[in-house]
Structure 1
Amino acid sequence: MAHPQPRWCRSNDARHADPEHLRGRGSPEGVGVQARRSQLTYQQALDFISKQGRFAMKLGTERTRAILDRLGAPDRELRGALIAGTNGKGSTGACLTSILRAAGHGVGFMPKPHLVSYTERIELNGSPISEGDFVATLEALMPTLDEVASEMGPATEFEMLTAMAIAYLAPRIELLVCEVGLGGRLDATNALDLGIAVITNVDLDHQKYLGSTIGEIAREKAAIIKHGNRVVTGCEGEALAIVEAQADAMAAQVWRLGRDVIVDAISLGWGGHELSVRGPDFAHRDLRLPLVGDYQPANAALAVAAARLLGVVGDDAIREGLASTNWPGRLQVIGQHPRVIVDGGHNPAAMVKAGTALRRLIGSEKLVAVFGMLSERDPVKLLGALRTMRPDAVVFTEAASAQGHAIAPENLASLYGPDAYVAPSARAAIDMARELAGPSGNVLVGGSLYLVGEVLSLKD
């Protein structure tokens, strides 16, 4: 089976805000809706979508549901998995999508956010939607968007992209894997009921929107569980108790990682992992997973369990699917001499896990970090997580695509202290970091998906 197409490509797409659920603000200046329907270019489509409001927030499922219902509710016939969790959603979704494809099914995947191109968010059988189909889908949706806007206000960027994905994918697929954008209860994707709910884990992130405690955040994520669903979760402690309570209220079956689903893994270094996964009615041994990171076997196990609950795969598909899983931007090596690695973890828990895994891989080798972060993040906590990686130096920079919503690199360097450098751009930061690391060292790019995406677009 061929590897799925990577999620990065050369593109001039503007990076999407994180959080991404944005307040509607009407049409792009100077472009009328009627005129756009027959002559939108891809860039005009991006301008229209992104200008619905960047770096603002408006949560809720009502408008998404209204749009889908006016389209004939194409999502009602879809089966698959809705995946929530603080970390690991994308990796779990990528593993599950690859397994389902290996079983011969037509599969749609809705990962979030994109790294480089908006087209990454609508994936059909391993390939992103084409720019032409992206535009055509938006144009076809515009009359419905107008109708809903007249009654409920304009759709946000995230609502639009969710509706576009369903409208495009539903006629073309058998199964859908959808990653939740933020939280769960009020996320636009929670308008969907795919039968399987996966909650990877719960940690502190996006507290401004989800709550300040593990319990509050867990309740937001557990709300994706709907009546009669089957649930797979890697949650522990208080978060697990909340997931179990919601599942009980919804008459939903639960498989828990570490109790019902067991994974054993051996690291193969930069080659990924060899693992075995067993559950209530299955056992799969000697599986190969190319994803690097100590946390990836758990994500793969959740994907295997979800695939088994869907009842549409066997051992061969699980074996082939995991072996061909591709998920860029997570401890991904994109260069050598020095080794250049990108990692999209942008909350303390994700960064600490990535740093622990990276240090196990590189040992005492020299490490230089290229780091940037959005202004909504807590710099003290993220810089504390960065220090756990024990970098020899850090080059702070700002992704151009963050559009002024990043913390100034000079401020980050001042907070960090010794061995901090500042570069005016991602390219300049990479060049400086490579020189500091030397040919036998390592460069890690992280802290912001904007920065990771920008570096990936420079990859070649």
Structure 2
Amino acid sequence: MADPWRAFSTRLFDQNLFAVKLGLQNMRLALDLEGSPDKAQAAIVVGGTNGKGSVSALLSNILEAHGLKCGLYTSPHLIEVRERFRINGAPVSREQTMRVGKQLLQKYGRPDATPCLTFFELTTLMAAKIFEEEKVDVAIWEVGLGGRLDAVNTIEPALTVITTIGLDHQEYLGNTIPLISLEKAALARKGIPTLIGRQDHEDARQTLLEAIPDAIEVPWVEDEADFRQRHISTATLAAQTYLGDRFDAEKAQSAVLRTRWRGRLESLEINGATWLIDGAHNIDGARHFAAFMRHYEPDTFLIGAMKDKDLEGVFGWLKRPPFESIPIVSATLKTQRSAQSDQIRSTLDRAIHFESLEEALEEIRENGFGKIAAFGSLYLVGELLMELGLSSEDLTTWKD
């Protein structure tokens, strides 16, 4: 007998074979046809290039600590699609995901449906329906790609947050920081508070402030060695802005200390090995990860990447001091988008490449490399967490 969950997941992932992204009109029409479930609760929209997932998780936990029931919509997932839909930090059940997903696929998944939705539009609609069912007080919506034409931009927010902007997805968003910044600025609404997080590029900051004159800037953090602090500052100010007089600094601090966002500078001790796992996959993310590595001093690097990424920009620093002599193991990942051996070796000729993550991990075990830093793709993070014995049930935003 076929596994119902696997069959449902496969069908959902195949949706982009039937649908074409044309703008926001299909998403708006579907929300209207479903009775505007997105309006059943307050909304906070979080966009940006780097840090938006971490900020969203932190913000969800801070608001929950203040007694609010929080929905959290994020992407991509690491292990199972239901991780995209969280209630108070925990992924919803397979059963709820399938029930809601099948109903919406039946209505909007066929090529002749009006409208026929893309995969991301469908998951966005699923989130709205799930949050309505769960009667959340506030939903936090992480933007998928860009801003102006992202399905999440159909959500009318009570607050918009824009995190750090950098170069990524240039084929869709533009080849310059100002062009990408304008895509993100389109998330703002007139008369609705918009927070701008710390920017690595001054032209991003200037473009955002010109496009959103009344935006609130998050105060700069002195200690830039720990870039996680900028996410904490952004999420804390977002909660303070949203809650107003109800904001309690002690509750916020307690929530921050208990928050984890899997696969983002995550440290794990498993079977005698120490892992530091991060999804850094663009130039700015890799630069921050490299700065952190100067304090971490790993015994080996495990890398994997998508073939459409700037591999030199992401991995080039591994050829320079003090990293140039640390062993590198790379793997082809279980997706057609994965970078292959020739691509990785053209960037890092000392990398030992394997055609699967399982083989790469066997190499690491045999050589006794006890302190491993893994990065380069969220696909790598997801596969690695599964290989290390974790499941979606373990991917809550709260530490145990």
Tell me whether 1:241 sits opposite 2:206 in the alignment. yes
| Alignment-mate amino acid for residue 381 of structure 1 | G
Question: 1:102 maps to which residue?
Answer: 65
Kindly indicate whether the alpha-carbon contact (under 8 Å) linking 2:120 and 2:151 is maintained by their aligned counterparts in 1.
yes
Q: Percent identity?
A: 28
**217-226 or 138-147, which deviates more:** 138-147
Distance 1:193 1:126 in 2: 22
Q: 1:195 to 1:430 in 2, by over 3 A?
A: same
Matched, 1:305 2:237: yes
Aligned to 1:423: 354
Mark the CA change 1:216 to 1:316 in structure 2 (over 3 Å): closer, same or farther.
Answer: same
Q: Is the 8 A contact 1:176 1:194 kept in 2?
A: no
Q: 1:146 to 1:342 in 2, by over 3 A?
A: closer
Counterpart of 1:457 in structure 2 is 386
Structure 2 residue aligned with 1:315: 249
* Equivalent in the alignment of 1:178: 141
Distance in 2 (CA, whole Å) between partners of 1:383 and 1:93 is 27
TM-score calculated relative to the size of structure 1:
0.77
Q: Could you tell me which residue of structure 1 aligns to residue 43 of structure 2? A: 80
Shift of 1:263: 4.3
Q: 1:120 aligns with which of 64, 83, 88?
A: 83
Structure 1 residue runs without a partner (length 5+): 1-38, 267-292
How far is the alpha carbon of 1:445 from its aligned partner? 1.4
Q: CA deviation at 1:137?
A: 0.6
Give the whole-Å Cα distance in 2 for the aligned partners of 1:359 and 1:321.
Answer: 28
Tell me, yes or no, if the aligned pair for 1:100 and 1:307 is still in contact at 8 Å. Answer: yes
Counterpart check, 1:204 vs 2:204? no
Task: Mark the CA change 1:208 to 1:40 in structure 2 (over 3 Å): closer, same or farther.
Answer: same
The Cα shift of 1:334 comes to 2.2
Q: Which residue does 2:218 correspond to in 1? A: 257
- Taking the aligned partners of 2:94 and 2:369, their CA distance within structure 1 comes to 39
SS at match of 2:215: strand
Shift of 1:385: 4.1
Shift of 1:338: 3.7
Q: Look up the equivalent residue of 2:275 and give its one-letter code.
A: V
The range that moved more, 446-455 or 75-84, is: 75-84
Q: Secondary structure at the match of 1:150?
A: coil
Q: Specify which of 240, 252, 266 is matched with residue 332 of structure 1.
A: 266
State yes or no: 1:407 paired with 2:339. Answer: yes
Q: Which residue of 1 aligns with 2:394?
A: none
Q: Distance in 2 between matches of 1:158 and 1:345?
A: 22
Report the alpha carbon displacement of residue 240 of structure 1 after superposing the two structures with TM. 1.8
Q: Are the equivalent residues in 2 in contact too, given 1:67–1:148 (CA < 8 A)?
A: no
| Partner SS for 2:16 | coil
Would you say 1:347 and 2:282 are equivalent positions?
yes
Task: Write the mapping of 1:22-41 to structure 2, written as runs, cut at 5 A.
Answer: 41=4
Measure, in 1, the Cα distance between the counterparts of 2:3 and 2:117.
19
Note the C-alpha offset of 1:68. 0.8
Measured at CA, do residues 345 and 199 of structure 1 come closer, stay the same or move farther in structure 2, by a change above 3 Å? same
Which residue of structure 2 lines up, in the alignment, with residue 232 of structure 1?
A: 195
Offset at 1:242?
A: 2.0
Are the equivalent residues in 2 in contact too, given 1:294–1:357 (CA < 8 A)?
A: yes
Equivalent residues in 2 for 1:274-289, closer than 5 Å: none
Equivalent residue runs for 1:138-217 within 5 Å: 138-145=101-108, 150-152=113-115, 154-171=116-133, 172-217=135-180
Corresponding residue for residue 296 of structure 1: 228
CA apart distance, 1:219: 0.2
Q: Per-residue CA shift, 1:345-371, capped at 9, x if unaligned?
A: 111110110121122233xxx531111
443 and 158 in structure 1: CA distance in 2 versus 1, 3 angstrom threshold: same
Say which SS state the counterpart of residue 370 (structure 1) adopts: strand
| CA apart distance, 1:246 | 2.5
RMSD: 2.5
User: CA 1:233/1:128 → structure 2, altered by over 3 Å: closer, same or farther?
Assistant: same
**Structure 1 stretch displaced more, 366-375 or 322-331:** 366-375
**SS of match in other structure, 2:212:** helix
Measured in 1, the distance between the counterparts of 2:382 and 2:118 equals 23
Q: 1:146 to 1:200 in 2, by over 3 A?
A: closer
Q: String of CA shifts for 1:62-88, please: whole Å, max 9, x gaps.
A: 211111111111212432321111100
What's the offset of the Cα at 1:149? 5.0
Matched, 1:438 2:382: no
CA distance, structure 2, for counterparts of residue 47 and residue 414 of structure 1: 33
What is the alpha-carbon distance in structure 2 between the residues aligned to residue 399 and residue 47 of structure 1?
18
**For the residues of structure 2 that align with 1:72 and 1:40, how far apart are their CA atoms?**
32
- 1:210 touches 1:217 (CA, 8 Å); kept in 2? yes
Instruction: State the distance in 2 between where 1:147 and 1:415 align.
Output: 42
Q: Is the 8 A contact 1:108 1:124 kept in 2?
A: yes
CA distance in 1, matches of 2:64, 2:275: 30
Does 128-137 or 426-435 show the bigger shift? 426-435
Q: Is the 8 A contact 1:335 1:341 kept in 2?
A: no
Q: d(CA) in 2 for partners of 1:198 and 1:425? A: 38
CA distance in 1 between partners of 2:148 and 2:347 (Å): 36
Does the 8 A contact of 2:301 with 2:328 survive in 1? yes
Query: CA offsets per residue over residues 273-304 of structure 1, 9 Å max, x none?
Result: xxxxxxxxxxxxxxxxxxxx711110011101
The answer as to 2:58 corresponding to 1:92 is no
Q: Distance in 2 between matches of 1:59 and 1:247?
A: 26
Do 2:107 and 2:113's aligned partners in 1 also have CA atoms closer than 8 Å? no
Shift of 1:386: 4.0
* TM-score, structure 2 as length reference: 0.88
Following superposition, the deviation at residue 53 of structure 1 comes to 2.5
The 3 A distance-change label for structure 1 pair 414 and 243 is: closer
